[in-house]
Structure 1
Amino acid sequence: MITNPGGFHVTQASDPQRISLYLTSHGWSPHEEEGGTLWIAHDESYDVFVPRHRQMRGYLSHIGTLLKTLSVAEGRSEAKISLEISISDADVQYVHTDPEADPGTTPIDEGVRAFESLRQWVLSGAVFASAERPKVVQPARKPARALEFMRNVRLGPTFEGSYILTAYIPIPPRIGQTEIEVDDPFVRAASQPFERRVSLKLREATKEAVVAADEVIQRREGIEAFTRRAEKGVNANLCEALTGFTTREGGEACIDFSWALSRPVTQVAPITLNRDQVTVLKQAAQEMRAAAPEDDVTVVGAVVRLHREGAFGPGEISIAGIIEGSANERLRRIWLDLAEDDYSQATRAHDNGATVSVTGSLVRRGNRYFLKNPSTFTVRPDAP
């Protein structure tokens, strides 16, 4: 867990439901009173009053008194308690990106890369939790459930100590929950809400990817160390995301998990990444992409090269474009073969500077991308 939380979310920490959840999880007992609830500590040595709603006169004054009382009762700072209240209904992933950097800072390019990797990492867990069957390369077109889930994930503040990124995954509480017990969701994962399953699969997949990297380093295993763990969420997308948590020059990263108080879990050890593991993860991602195509990929872009033998028949083209629906909008050059009619359309699009789209299976060979089994080649009327 983070030991130096810095600032805290005043709005979230003053939410009555989050405060009640926090007090319940720490053994306080509620007693209804006019205008709110009086909470009494388990040893009856302290009590705090929580107004029923924020609009009540003097609400923030009551919250200030509550935090001071909790600080004395627990022997911890108000800032630390406020932070825990603000995230009491969420699973939180903390990613320490550079332990050797100046506290709370990182080079801007590295920071942008780390935030994008954080998004890709969480998305890989959501896609895995949504998929009917695991793949070593996740599809470019993500499941609707995974995309809907990502709309609810929130970035938290960064912290000092190293440059620490946080992702908040809201977890729905159990209906009618009046007591909180530590659960073992790893045993009964199927009964957990989707949001918690994503958190669990993220941790399992990340741990397994690191173990696979160690097997490659220590036992000289091949890519099978990764592909046989596809059932546990190890795939090229996850491995690529993990490599973005360290600096380009090397270094280490650490991933820590905190679980929502509404569905508490026994604390687990953080997962660390060292320079050698990151090197292996990067290579593994490349090999998995080279060995397994991304199915149902739609490429959108401009025709930049045409080639065929003779004046008629099929031919080869290349498109400079993006993968539609992919979170990675980097421009790629993609090669493909087209039948005669589609090649004629591509020629006209090239001459007119028009945008085209085509669907197929994306394969990477070395530094080149190829689209196999292309279909639905279309010249789009709109500009890119």
Structure 2
Amino acid sequence: MTDLQLTSPPSTPSLSEVEAYLLRSGWSRTASDRATVWVPSGDAHAGLQVALPRRETVLDLRVQIDEAVKVVAYVEGRTVAETTSSIVTGGADTVSLRLMPNLPSGTATLATLEESIAALRALVVGSAAALNNSDLVLPSRRSALVESYAANAHVSTRPGSFILDLALPLAAGTDTRPDHPNQESLVDVKPRPFGRSVTERIRTVARNALAMAERVQYGNASIEEFGRQDLRLGNALELDALARMGGDLGTPYQLRLSQSALAQRTAPSTVLRASSAQRARLAEASEFLRSTQPQTGVSVEGFVVRLFRDGGFGKGDVTVRSILDDSGKLKSCVMSLTEEDYAEALRAHDKGLLVAAKGNLITAGTRKRLTDVIDFRVTVQLA
């Protein structure tokens, strides 16, 4: 599922958007007849200032705003594109993916682009879901908050080297843009908003997972280390996403993370590089977790594809094809059912009906079994 919104690069913000951003990010202002002068807080950038016209009717308005944004970006230690995105979206952290395909600069194949956008979405979903779920393999269904937040992220491209800029809103709402251009408060951003927690999680997991992948590559650690939750190496969905970014596993990529000034900044802009070898190890780690980690309270829904029992009566084993984990792929799962439930499974198989059940999922290699099965039932026929 790749429902990230692919948009054009952020354009020059309006005068009111820049003023509201400066005010909310701690700049102080003084006004004269012709201009408003803004000064950053603190002594680190003493002497720097931004001058903006008091009216939007001046002829060189765009030029003055562009120059102002450059100064703001310098003060924040971000790129102009990152700061512009935060201004026009009402507050957004940025995750930038620099693709490095073996192609002319600024180009990438459709397959690489599709895979990378899907991986960015999976990374956001995996990190957002991990804020309230510490399982190393996430369930196939996520909360409405996680899904809506991922859907509200925007991806844009930059000229030159092929870069995908992912703008992650600080607020976890469906719309962080102001209803009116003169509205001073663009969005109610808490000191540690949901979006900041997501980007901090992405930063921590990406840094730790890449470092561990390097150790595994050189024989200084085993792939089993990724099963240790205390190391904060990420869940299977996050690791799979970090492996798939950039398309072909034979190419490296760079990941840059920067924080908006509209919430308390906890880290400077960070650049991480993933080699082809590290990506391969991350793919192995993701598969390792999905093939070894037990899952409790799993809901299974799918079609019966196989039934087996000794004789014509009693309990038996039923195999169901269903999406069982965060990979989104159909997999086979075996469950032992009572004689009554087995009869229902047989009826569902004969009539092409969906079945559902809950239980604990045990994985051994490629074999998966649902134990402690409860609430087995026939649901509805697929239209």
> What's the TM-score once normalised by structure 1's chain length?
0.77
2:64 aligns to what SS in structure 1?
Answer: helix
Show the counterpart of 2:253: 253
Identical positions, percent: 23
Show the counterpart of 1:347: 346
Correspondence 1:258-297 to 2 at 5 A: 258-263=258-263, 264-297=265-298
Residues 139 and 326 in structure 2, CA contact (< 8 A), matched pair in contact too: no
1:137 alignment partner AA: V
How far apart are 1:82 and its partner, in Å? 6.7
How far apart are 1:370 and its partner, in Å? 3.0
Q: What CA deviation, in whole Å up to 9, does each residue of 1:132-156 have, x standing for no partner? A: xx2222233334543453344x122
User: What is the distance in 1 between the residues matched to 2:271 and 2:359?
Assistant: 40
Q: What CA deviation, in whole Å up to 9, does each residue of 1:136-181 have, x standing for no partner? A: 22233334543453344x12212244432222122259xxxx9xxx
User: What is the distance in 1 between the residues matched to 2:328 and 2:299?
Assistant: 13
How far apart are 1:312 and its partner, in Å? 0.8
2:268 alignment partner AA: Q
Correspondence 1:76-115 to 2 at 5 A: 81=80, 84-88=83-87, 89-115=91-117
Correspondence 1:86-235 to 2 at 5 A: 86-88=85-87, 89-131=91-133, 134-152=134-152, 154-171=153-170, 192-230=192-230, 232=232, 234-235=234-235
1:232 alignment partner AA: R
User: Does 1:49 pair with 2:46?
Assistant: no
Alignment CA distance shift 1:44-1:163 (3 Å): closer
Residues 209 and 239 in structure 1, CA contact (< 8 A), matched pair in contact too: yes
User: What is the distance in 2 between the residues matched to 1:68 and 1:115?
Assistant: 29
Show the counterpart of 2:44: none
How far apart are 1:373 and its partner, in Å? 2.7
User: What is the distance in 2 between the residues matched to 1:21 and 1:141?
Assistant: 36
Show the counterpart of 2:318: 317
Q: What CA deviation, in whole Å up to 9, does each residue of 1:327-368 have, x standing for no partner? A: 654333333222211111010011111122222233443334
Q: What CA deviation, in whole Å up to 9, does each residue of 1:79-131 have, x standing for no partner? A: x7476323242101011233533333322233222211111111111112223
2:97 aligns to what SS in structure 1?
Answer: strand
1:103 aligns to what SS in structure 2?
Answer: coil
User: What is the distance in 1 between the residues matched to 2:165 and 2:372?
Assistant: 41
Q: What CA deviation, in whole Å up to 9, does each residue of 1:1-27 have, x standing for no partner? A: xxxxx96323x7226234432487595
Show the counterpart of 1:307: 308
2:37 alignment partner AA: I
How far apart are 1:265 and its partner, in Å? 5.0
Residues 318 and 335 in structure 1, CA contact (< 8 A), matched pair in contact too: yes
Q: Kindly report the root-mean-square deviation, in angstroms, between the aligned alpha carbons of the 2 structures.
A: 3.6
Residues 319 and 335 in structure 2, CA contact (< 8 A), matched pair in contact too: yes
1:101 aligns to what SS in structure 2?
Answer: coil
1:318 alignment partner AA: T
User: What is the distance in 2 between the residues matched to 1:167 and 1:45?
Assistant: 29
Show the counterpart of 1:184: none
Show the counterpart of 1:186: none
User: What is the distance in 1 between the residues matched to 2:138 and 2:112?
Assistant: 25
Alignment CA distance shift 1:63-1:306 (3 Å): farther
> What's the TM-score once normalised by structure 2's chain length?
0.77
Alignment CA distance shift 1:7-1:330 (3 Å): closer
Structure 1: unaligned runs, 5 residues or longer: 1-5, 52-57, 179-189
Residues 114 and 245 in structure 1, CA contact (< 8 A), matched pair in contact too: yes
Structure 2: unaligned runs, 5 residues or longer: 1-6, 40-46, 177-183, 185-189
User: What is the distance in 2 between the residues matched to 1:210 and 1:319?
Assistant: 36
User: What is the distance in 2 between the residues matched to 1:13 and 1:234?
Assistant: 36
How far apart are 1:236 and its partner, in Å? 1.6
How far apart are 1:208 and its partner, in Å? 0.8
Correspondence 1:356-367 to 2 at 5 A: 356-367=355-366
Q: What CA deviation, in whole Å up to 9, does each residue of 1:176-232 have, x standing for no partner? A: xx9xxxxxxxxxxx9622221111111011111111112222344223422234462
Q: In terms of mean alpha carbon deviation, does 301-310 or 83-92 score higher?
A: 83-92
Residues 140 and 296 in structure 1, CA contact (< 8 A), matched pair in contact too: no
1:118 aligns to what SS in structure 2?
Answer: helix
How far apart are 1:233 and its partner, in Å? 5.2
Show the counterpart of 2:64: 66
Show the counterpart of 2:181: none
Show the counterpart of 1:238: 238
Alignment CA distance shift 1:217-1:7 (3 Å): same
Alignment CA distance shift 1:355-1:202 (3 Å): same
